[in-house]
Amino acid sequence: MPVVVLWRVVLAEAAVLVGYGVLVLVMAVRGDRSSALAAFGLAVLLAGLGVGLAAAGRAVLHRRRWGRAPVIVCQLLGFAVGVPVAQGGALLVGLLLATGAAAGLAAALAPQVTDWVTPPSG
């Protein structure tokens, strides 16, 4: 069960990253052209992070051990960003980010996920 929870959390986070990257790109095209290059760079970065996170989550789903480490790092970063965002005035966004990251981290560190990605010895 924690493997499925982890996959769903990671997939949702990856979709948000890619979606926000597309939004940044659209806003740059429709708005101020002076910052279009920076917006394009940010959009590529966000899309790359989203695709990479989805690939790591898929690796965990397919019992590949390497996928768990990037998922854990992304959850820690998400929590580290979510808490100050919530304290800084964007309470709902920060709480969603921190809660999702906490759920993903708990699922990634669950013993069932460790057993899932660890090859049997012998």
At 22-50, the pLDDT tens digits run 888 888 888 766 678 888 898 899 999 99
At 73-121, the pLDDT tens digits run 999 999 999 899 889 888 998 899 899 999 999 999 999 999 999 988 7
CA 103/CA 76 separation, integer angstroms = 11
Distances (CA, A) of 8 to 15, 16, 108, 113: 10, 12, 12, 14
8 Å CB contact between 63 and 31: no
Domain layout of the chain by residue ranges? 2-116
At 55-77, the pLDDT tens digits run 999 999 999 999 999 999 999 99
Q: How many CB atoms lie within 10 A of CB 98?
A: 19
Residue 61 DSSP SS3: helix
* pTM for this entry: 0.86
